[in-house]
Amino acid sequence: MRANYLLLSFILVSLSACGEQNSNTRNSAQMVVTQDTPNVMLILADDLAYSDLGAYGSEIETPHLDQLASAGVLFTRFHTSAMCSPSRAMLLTGVDQHKNGYGTMGEYLDSSQRGQPGYEGFLNDQVVTVASLLQQAGFNTYMTGKWHLGAASMPSNRGFDRTFILLQGAGSHFDNTGYARGQPTVDYFRNAEAVELPADFYSSDAYTDEMISYIDRDKDSGQPFFGYLAFSAPHFPLHAPTELIDKYEERYMVGWDVIRQQRHDALKTLGFIDANAEMAERLERVPPWNQVSAEDKRYQARKMAVYAAMVDRLDQNVGILVEYLKSIDEYDNTVFLFLSDNGPESNDFTTYPIVPTATEWIAETFDNSYENLGKDGSYIYYGERWAHVGAAAHRYHKTVVTQGGINVPLIISYGEGLPQGRIVSEFSSVVDITPTILDLVGTQHPGTEFAGRPIHAMSGQSILPYLRDQQDFIYPEGSGNGFELFGHNAYISGNWKILRLQDPYGDFTWGLYDLDKDPAELNNLAEQNPEKFQELLQLYSQYEIANGVIQVPEGWKMFENLGGSRQ
């Protein structure tokens, strides 16, 4: 079945390319590629937690990603936004979310933000993507997977030669079933043309097969490729092949308390967190596992098994891609970058009816019985009960700018072109990825103008000089980066972080935390370190002004503002 899908994808791509005139014609004057220019494969997971990979201490089996980590560089202090679209927009542009169109999620715009620059709710024209720059430099450019950067700005118009995408932010992994009563189906496009999905569709398999078909078609072109493989796993709804779910269920019958402690201990053993670091308390609504009924234990273990199976399957697909690149002798000449877009998802509308219409739609439409969990026709989340396991080293989860929401895995691997088996604990950010890619392939960012239009300069900086021991820092002392989403605020400089959280996560007062000793942000050191506290407050103020942050009022609630722009 899978081989048939790959063949079908290849035929459709070939047919769509016949006689095609690329609207983003390459400028021969900017052809900078040489025989030694590496390919770039950017792989993004969706809602994958910091401790979900074997290389980061997980019990989930991820041997292929673990191998990339051991053959490359693993980052322990890499950060994104606390939600997907802002992270994806920064990933592809190197420009802060408050300038690139995703000052907040388009679905949750406050009235004060609507219509303001940087808050368009789609990837705006004031930024240029890394795909556009590499396309002009002579790369073949491909994207498969989740877009979620707005229909007003399709990837086909942002530098990608060939694309197969899920337009929206979530949907069934087996078909085009949507995510709410108002969005009962989602849209898939190949090269900006709407497509129907085959009967044997599974998202992670299909995105990988399609990417391989693109690379295979052009493998004799003499041009390097840039591939952006944006998995929609392990984002809800949780779906996976049954045999993989069965593999994991018994593993999770020990419960979230045991697994969380095991992961926390593993992170200490690996040296990724301090040996004396405290673990945050169990989230308020999460009961102790020993107080859960036997029937519910079985149900909850099955839910987490589905999630683990999704991660396992994603890893298997990375292995398939790696083996393919080895078969065409391109593996050693390919830079791999793997990361997640934010921390683990805690929402579960089936358990807590925060959005009643979603809860009612799921109850009316899907079969979430134990026997059907993870199968086509089910619609489940793993919720905060297991999300706080994924964020074992940290506090909270996706949507919050605590480390649980923004500290995610990053692996960069490039044969002998970068160090192997290295662990990096320096602060870095998602806005650094585009500058790093451009540096790796020897392509310049245009600065403040592209294709005759004004654009923003990049906010991030290349990690490459640090990796090649040309400097002993990624961010110089006294600098760093700010974070804001849904009125939560943070700034990180070195090992220091200031943080201010909206209710119910905090009382909206600033605190200062030493991430080296306290990754869970439990001990506010503002009074003990007043000079450092004031320094970071000033840095955040400068960040806020420079990037046009529009702060929502104290007490603002995310779901009370659902229904903003979804362009």
Q: pLDDT of 193-219, one tens digit each?
A: 999 999 999 999 999 999 999 999 999
pLDDT value at residue 426: 97
* Residues 1/206, Cβ–Cβ less than 8 Å: no
* Helix, strand, coil % in the chain, rounded to nearest 5: 35, 15, 50
Residue 209, in any domain of the structure: yes
Question: Mean pLDDT across the stretch 105-113?
Answer: 91
Whether residue 5 is predicted with pLDDT greater than 60 in this model: the reply is no
Helical packing angle, 294-327 and 256-270, nearest 10°: 40
pLDDT at residue 562, as a whole number: 72
Tokens of 188: 């898939």
* Residue 21: per-residue pLDDT: 33
Radius of gyration of the chain (CA): 22
CATH number of the domain that residue 169 is part of: 3.40.720.10
pLDDT category of residue 190 using cuts at 50, 70 and 90 = very high
In a domain, 567, yes or no: no
Choosing from 84, 98, 397, 456, which is the catalytic residue? 84
Three-state SS at 549: coil
Chain centroid to CA 458: 19
Identify whether 19 is part of a domain: no
Confidence of residue 2 (pLDDT cuts 50, 70, 90): low
Give the domain extent around 387: 2-14+37-54+62-561
Alpha-helix runs per DSSP H in 223-345: 242-249, 256-270, 294-327
Is 148 in the active site?
A: yes
pLDDT tens for 262-301 read: 999 999 999 999 999 999 999 999 999 999 999 999 999 9
pLDDT in tens, 30-41: 546 777 899 999
If one counts every other C-beta atom within 10 angstroms of the C-beta of residue 9, the result is 22
Tell me if 28 is assigned to some domain.
Answer: no
- Does residue 23 lie within any of the structural domains? no
Rounded to an integer, what distance in angstroms lies between the CA atom of residue 111 and that of residue 564?
Answer: 9
Residue 561: the pLDDT is: 74
Annotated catalytic residue: which of 64, 98, 148, 235?
A: 148
Question: What digits encode the pLDDT tens for the residues 512-529?
Answer: 999 999 999 999 999 999
**Tally of domains within the chain:** 1
- CA neighbor of 496 nearest in space, from 470, 469, 462, 523: 523
To the query of whether residue 18 is one of the catalytic residues in this protein, the response is no
Residue 28 has a pLDDT of 35
What is the average pLDDT across 136-155?
96
> What does DSSP assign to residue 384?
H
**Rounded percentage of the chain residues whose pLDDT exceeds 90:** 87
Confidence (pLDDT) at 563: 63
* Per-residue pLDDT reduced to its tens digit, 254-269: 999 999 999 999 999 9
Mean pLDDT within 335-345: 98
3-state secondary structure of 528: coil
pLDDT at 566 over 80: no
The helix (H) or strand (E) run that includes residue 131 is helix 130-136
Answer whether residue 27 is part of any domain. no
Of 17, 23, 209, 35, whose CA–CA distance to 132 is shortest?
23
Mean pLDDT to the nearest integer, 103-110? 92
The answer to whether residue 266 sits within a structural domain is yes
**CA distances (Å), 540 to each of 273, 498, 515, 545, 548, in order?**
25, 9, 17, 9, 12
Please name which of 487, 519, 514, 481 lies closest in space to residue 500, comparing C-alpha atoms: 487
State the CB neighbour count (10 A cutoff) for residue 427: 24
> Is the separation of the CB atoms in 490 and 477 below 8 Å?
no
One-letter amino acid of 498 = I
Task: Calculate the CA 98 to chain-centre distance.
Answer: 18
- What confidence tens digit (pLDDT) does each residue in 522-559 have? 999 999 999 999 999 999 999 999 999 999 999 998 88
Question: Is 10 a residue whose pLDDT tops 50?
Answer: no
Question: How much is the average pLDDT of 112-133?
Answer: 96
DSSP code per residue over 508-544: S--EEEETTT-TT-----TTT-HHHHHHHHHHHHHHH
Q: Which two tokens stand for residue 221?
A: 């072109």
**Quick check: is 29 in a domain?**
no
pLDDT score of 379:
97
Judge whether 521 and 402 are in contact, CB under 8 Å. Answer: yes
The two three-digit tokens of residue 116, written as one number:
């303001």
pLDDT, mean of residues 330-339? 97
Find the mean pLDDT for residues 46-59.
98
Q: Could you tell me the pLDDT band of residue 6, with boundaries at 50, 70 and 90?
A: very low
Question: What is the reported pLDDT for 450?
Answer: 96
